[in-house]
Each structure stands twice: as structure tokens, then as C-alpha cells.
Chain A
Amino acid sequence: MRYARKFLVAFVVAFALAGAGTAGAYHTQWVANNCNYAAPTPTSYITRDGSITVALYARHEGYQWGGGCWNDNDVDDSPGDPKSDPNTGGEGPDCSGFTFKVWRETLDETSTAFHQWWRLRNIHGPYTAQRFKNADGAANYPLSKSAAIKMDAYASATHIGMIYVTNPDGTDQIIEALGESYGTNVWTRAYRGNSIFSGVRRLGWSQS
């Protein structure tokens, strides 16, 4: 009986450890198990309304530092990843990767062409929020915040968010990949009136 009890305790401990190990591994395998590195699809134009549709696919799909891959199940499939760690391989974009993908930019910084990167295509792109703020790259140019409209962006040294809807009171509804604790979603923000943010626009929008 004594040995049976010891075995039972050992079994329970082993079972718990196995479960804990699986949960830890789960956070680091989402990109490896679900995402691809397929070639992008060149496209001849993008529209602001079409890009809003693209952006909304990322809503509720989580956040990953340095990330750029998500599905469309409205669930963060890798919640609670350690912050500021690109190696956790979880679902979702970060703010600059989100903007790069929604704006259909290319990896060639001298190009203004449009590349469609599909949702499960893992890509971040060469720009940080700071570089978007500086309007680096041929596809990005600085914009007066007062002139910003839907799918233009506000960028600071550490963050970028795209306009979903402009509000008459000077705020905007911003679609953004905000952080591991918040995920990717739409929030009302006062970036327009905040001096640390600059306006930036993607070159070449077509009329919706």
C-alpha cells in the first residue's frame, strides 16, 4: 500500500509537470506550427477601405514583439508571451510589423510597390516605429497630423497606430498592435494632439 501511494503521488507530480511543460512549449511554437514564408503577391493598387479590412483581420489576434503572423479566429492563440522578446514565436504583430503588412509594403526600401502579405505569412519588415516616424523608405512620407485620414498613421519613437475612424472631437479611433497585455484592437486615442506623435502616410493609395 505504501508503494502504491508513492506511485500515485509520483504519477500526479509527473502528470502536472508534463502539463506545465506543454503549456510553456505552446507559447513558443505557434509561429513555427502555423506560419509560412511564401513569396508575397504583387498587387497593382491598394485602397484605404480594403486596407481597413486587412487590418481588422488582426483584431483580437494578439501581439508579438517583432512579430507579423496571425490567423483570423478572433483569439490570441499565444497569450501572455514575455514582453519585448521576439523569440517567443507567438501569434500577432507588433505595431510596426502590423503597419508594414497592412500598408502592403515591400522589403525593398527604395520601392513604393505593393506586396500582399497573407495573414499566415510571417513578416515584420525593416521599419520600427521610429523609422516610420522619420518617414524612412520610399513608400512612407511625413504628413501633417491635421491632414491625416483613415489608414494614415501616427508614429512616435516607440509606437505607431493607424487611423480607423477620425472623430470630430480631435481624437481618433486607432487600430493598433498595442502590446502583449492589450493585443491588437481598435481604441480611441488622442495621438493627433500629442506632440510626440508625427503623421505618416503610405504613398500611392487608390480611391476606394
Chain B
Amino acid sequence: MIRLRLTLLLIAGVLVACTGNDDRPTRLMDGSAPGALSVKLQHVAEADVVLTSFKVTDFADIVPDSPIAECYRGSSNPLSGPIVERVGVISSSVTSRTKDGRGIDGCDDTAGPLEEDRRWCGGAYGQLFEGRLRDPRLNIGCLTENDEMVGFVWVQPGERARYISVEQPEYIEVYEVANDLPVRVATRNGVEVEGSRASFDLFEHDQNGQLLRRYRLKAVVAG
């Protein structure tokens, strides 16, 4: 009997140890599988991590009528540099620096409803002051398929930051810093319609996965 109890306890222990995060998404918004992180992020459970994807497109390689082209069509802020496209679990975005170097321009999207025949559900422009954003340029104009409000902001990474992570209700969404641009991140957690504001619980890690800082970014719609 004792042996049976010990066996049962051992089996239970193995099951607990092997159980990951059943609520962690297995697909990004574009249907692709999240990649594998090459480092372990300090103070972040590996079972909770979902790595977003990104791609860098040169301005000269923009395909006419593509989503990127649609984002920047009619923009009064000419571009010339690389454009970072990101895909997360519930969101996608494009971000670029304007040709005059004075601003960051981009578009946001979710799988939710779009106005009219638009390709993107929203976007933002942010002025740079000495090369940095003073305001994260919150956009709360997008919805998930289930009509949950989604907030987007630009996170200005610290000097050594290589990974920006956002704490979501069931997982940790990880973004890699690219091309020295602010990182466009999204959340459906902590968006307040009444105050036109949102809060983001963030981690910053260096290239080795060392935690640099953990903080809450509070943003309001402004400007």
C-alpha cells in the first residue's frame, strides 16, 4: 500500500513537472508558429514565453499595393530607411523612421473589424526629441476578433536591451529589438476606454537574457 501511494505520488509529481502552460498560444496572428528563443530570459518562465516575429524591409523593396505600401501611402512624412514589420499573437505592426529623422511612423493591425476598406486598423506618428520619443503614442482604435480593445505603444528600449517582453494574461510576449527603432508592442490587458489610457507590464533583457529592468508603462492618448 505504501509502495502504491509512493508510486502514485511519483506519477503526480512527474505530471506536474511536465505540465507547461496550456494557455500559451501556439500560433501568431499570421498563422505562423512562434520561433524559439535562443536565450533564457531571467525571471521569465520559459513555459510562458511566446516569441513574436519580425522582418526588416528596405524602403526600396516595398511592393506596391502591399500592406506596407498601404500603410505609408499618402503619408506626408517621407521614408527612406528600413521598415520593421512585426507579428505578435493578436497584433501586427510596421514601424519606420521618417526621412528627416524627426519622427517615427507606422501602422497597427489586429484580426478584428476594420473601418471601410482599410488595410490597417490604426497607426501612429511620434516626434523624436534628440532621437528619442517622449510619448509612446498610444493607439486604442483596434479590436480583437472578440471585440476586446487592444492598445499599441512604442517602447523605447534601453541601451543594452535586446528583448522587450509584455506580460499578457496567459503568456509573456517577447519582441526582439531591431534596427535601433522603438519596439511597437500590443496588449489587450489594461486598456481603459474611459480614460483613453493603457498600461503595459514590461521586461527588458540584454542579449544574454539578463534582466535589465521590469516596469509598468502607463500611456494615454495624446497629441
B residues 185-210 touching A (CB-CB < 8 Å): 193-194, 196
Q: Verify B76–A131 contact, CB threshold 8 A.
A: no
B25 at the interface (CB under 8 A from A): no
A residues 57-83 touching B (CB-CB < 8 Å): 65-66, 83
B67 at the interface (CB under 8 A from A): no
How close is B55's CB to chain A, nearest CB, in angstroms? 24
What 0/1 pattern do residues 36 to 60 of B give for CB contact below 8 A with A? 0000000000000000000000000
- Kindly identify which residue among A95, A97, A131 contacts B139, using a CB–CB cutoff of 8 Å: A131
Q: Verify B223–A95 contact, CB threshold 8 A.
A: yes
Q: Verify B127–A131 contact, CB threshold 8 A.
A: no
How close is A153's CB to chain B, nearest CB, in angstroms? 15
Measured between beta carbons, the chain B residues less than 8 angstroms from A158 are 103, 125, 127, 223
- Kindly identify which residue among A86, A109, A137, A156 contacts B222, using a CB–CB cutoff of 8 Å: A86
B residues 116-166 touching A (CB-CB < 8 Å): 122-125, 127, 129, 134-135, 137, 139-141
Q: A-B contact count, CB below 8 Å?
A: 76
A128 at the interface (CB under 8 A from B): yes
A196 at the interface (CB under 8 A from B): yes
B220 at the interface (CB under 8 A from A): yes
Query: Bound complex: CA of A129 vs CA of B125, how far in Å?
Result: 9
A: number of interface residues (CB 8 Å)? 31
Query: Bound complex: CA of A37 vs CA of B75, how far in Å?
Result: 36
Q: Verify B223–A129 contact, CB threshold 8 A.
A: yes
Q: Verify A107–B193 contact, CB threshold 8 A.
A: yes
How close is A181's CB to chain B, nearest CB, in angstroms? 15
A195 at the interface (CB under 8 A from B): yes
Q: Verify B103–A157 contact, CB threshold 8 A.
A: yes
Take A128-B221, A134-B123 as given contacts and tell me if A65 and B103 are in contact as well, using a CB distance cutoff of 8 Å.
Answer: no
Which of A21-29, A119-127, A182-190 makes up part of the contact surface? A119-127
- Kindly identify which residue among B105, B125, B222 contacts A96, using a CB–CB cutoff of 8 Å: B222
Query: Contact residues of B with A, CB < 8 Å?
Result: 75-77, 103, 105, 115, 122-125, 127, 129, 134-135, 137, 139-141, 193-194, 196, 220-223
Q: What are some 6 contacts across the A-B interface (CB < 8 A)?
A: A125-B221, A126-B141, A131-B141, A138-B115, A157-B77, A196-B76
